Amino acid sequence: MKIRTFFKFKRKHALVCLGAFLLVACGSVKTLVTADKSPVITHIDLVNVTEDKVKVTLNPGAFVTDEITFYVPKTVPGTYSTDNYGKYIEGFKAYDYDDKELAVTKTDENSWKISAAKSLDKVSYLVNDTYDTEGEVEEAVFSPAGTNIVKDESFMLNLHGFVGYFDGLKEVPYELSILAPRDLKSTTSLEKKVTEVPNPDVDVFLANRYFEIIDNPILYAKPNKASFQLNDITVNLSVYSPNNVYTAQSLKDRMQKMMQAQKTFLGEINSTKQYNILLHLSTLESDDASGFGALEHHTSTVVVLPEQMPREALEQAMVDVVSHEFFHIVTPLNVHSREIQYFDFNNPKMSRHLWMYEGTTEYFANLFQIQQGLIDMADFYKRTMDKINNAKGYDDNMSFTEMSENILSEPYEENYANVYEKGALINMVLDITLRELSNGEKGVLWLMKELSKKYDEKTPFEDNSLIDEIVAMTYPEVRTFFDTYVIGNTPIDYNKYLSKVGLTTTVKEEQSGFFLNGDVPFIDVDQANNNAIFIRKGIELNSFFNNLGAKGGDVIKRIDGKDIDLDAVRSVIGQSFGWTPDKEIAMVVEREGSEITLQGKVGTPTLNVKTIVPMEGLKEEVVKLREAWLKG
């Protein structure tokens, strides 16, 4: 097998002159162009892995400029965070056509300037994975956006962590060749190149532009895959379970039932023929993933969850996270702004509309379950109340559009997770408003379908014009809604809107865990403060914390004499499931710079919980409006 042919792909020098001539003849001000528009030839070697590092080589073709800059992404769509993937790159080198090294200057954490670019044949570098360093860095990459390298066993290729781009070449095609162990099979939505004589050791994928490379992750693992049809959409579920605890086949039925319900909910919205779910199950060891959830892509999603989860809990987690990610085929796959269409990976300009990209998506992920009979009313009301309570932990006086535009900087970044809480609630209130104004006929799903008729994968909207378009499509009252609650900074009175559909809130006492209320924690990790464990502010604490005298913002230093860090608190949480009410506890917390010892019996933890309940004696039109909202 001649791997060398991938490295030494050359362009004829005669074409350089033609490229330069065209540049002048067209009167273009661009000073950067390759001699032709052939693909950037890229090779990833997953066989010759050394010290958990993978070699990557790129051949861009011939340049007509003296210098060129190569980038690895600083930020990628869907993460809304600065991750600096360049910090995982080592040994970056540039070579001329005689395999001699060219001068390279590293200009920042994610870019390298190459001198004598006219002589450049290829660049190569080594890539470290992110999973095995998550506990060692201050701001770890979110695992579903990260990379995993386990020689001869599994590779999670979020390609933004492996493949970079040359300045000016984000819109040219890529040809990606991957040398992989024969017993590992790939799952991806990337188009596979058909060759006359296939090489069993090399997969070749094609992409029309760089965005398609980073938008299509690849999982290499031993075959553990199940497929099913959703009308004309083929769904592939590929699972890496290091201890063979779960198979894709064992998880298929629940996924198929859930996603069929989603497809029924969406109706005629259909923008993909294939959807891939790449599930990495973590061992929870120090060299494996520790950030759980999912990251959306246009036609696939990467999911990371603990392998130790009981089957029912794992399946429910899959339903919750995959349903959210699958709804991204509506937005931002179809409905998205120019900021997403032409995303700048190293100097990103963020869109104003996270209320839609994440908020609408999260809202649909819950609404479809009640509309399609996957959950009952009580469960839907509880989920809604949980979001109302969780949203209190964020700045409720912050403009959502302002936060979205500035999400990569503080104080906006620390409020990002509110897109899944208040963002969903914004859509709930908009949905009720539209239903009320249209006598139950129109809602947010109708709105997204209408927008999908105008905007698609190749047709973005203007960021500053979207809300004007929505108002023009609907009612003048919708302008007031956006100006007040989305563009403006007025907190939403949820009771006002719930009452329109015959619902109200009441308080009742419920039993909770000591440190968790279901899957909602009372404590959190401060990554900027050496992973200190603190009691969350802005939420209702349970009787366990209240009776001890704990307060939101307290940093937990020791419990029963044991120093508390991330590993220790996991152990304590596990032990707490066996605590009896008469157990004595001593908890040392740091509050306003001083250490305080809190002592007492743990008791039976309870929580005063606000719940949503139906009103009595409702008018018929109110009942009909609620039915239109919840049953479509």
The DSSP code sequence of 184-251 is -EEE-SSEEPP-SS--TTEEEEEESSHHHHHTS-EEEESS-EEEEEETTEEEEEEEE-TTS---HHHH
Hey, is 84 helix, strand or coil? coil
Taking the C-alpha atoms of residue 594 and residue 152, their distance in angstroms, rounded to an integer, is 51
Say which amino acid occupies 290. Answer: S
Helices (H), 308-376: 311-326, 338-341, 354, 361-371
- Contact partners, residue 490, CB within 8 Å, separation at least 6: 397, 484
- What are the E-state strand segments in 512-550? 516-517, 520-521, 523-526, 532-535
* Predicted local distance difference test score (pLDDT) of residue 158: 98
H and E: helices and strands count for the chain: 18, 30
Backbone angles phi, psi at 20, to 5 degrees: -65, -40
Percent above pLDDT 90 for the chain = 80
Nearest in space to 429 (alpha carbons), one of 400, 449, 469, 458: 400
Tokens of 60: 């861009």
pLDDT digits (tens, 9 = 90+) for 358-415: 999 999 999 999 999 999 999 999 999 999 988 988 999 999 999 999 999 999 999 9
Helices (H), 121-198: none
Residue numbers in the chain where pLDDT is lower than 70? 1-37, 270-271
459 by Cβ neighbours in 10 Å (0-12 / 13-18 / 19+) ranks as exposed
- Alpha carbon 621 to chain centroid, angstroms: 40
Handedness of CA 508, 513, 519, 520 (dihedral sign): positive
Q: Around 251, how many Cα atoms within 13 Å sit in the side-chain half-sphere?
A: 30
Alpha-carbon distances, residue 192 vs 2, 175, 206, 381, 537 (angstroms): 20, 10, 6, 45, 49
Backbone angles phi, psi at 90, to 5 degrees: -130, 155
Alpha-carbon distances, residue 365 vs 41, 611, 623 (angstroms): 39, 20, 23
Tokens of 292: 């759980």
- Tell me the β-bridge partners of 534: 524, 555
Nearest in space to 356 (alpha carbons), one of 379, 377, 340: 340
| DSSP structural state of residue 263 | H
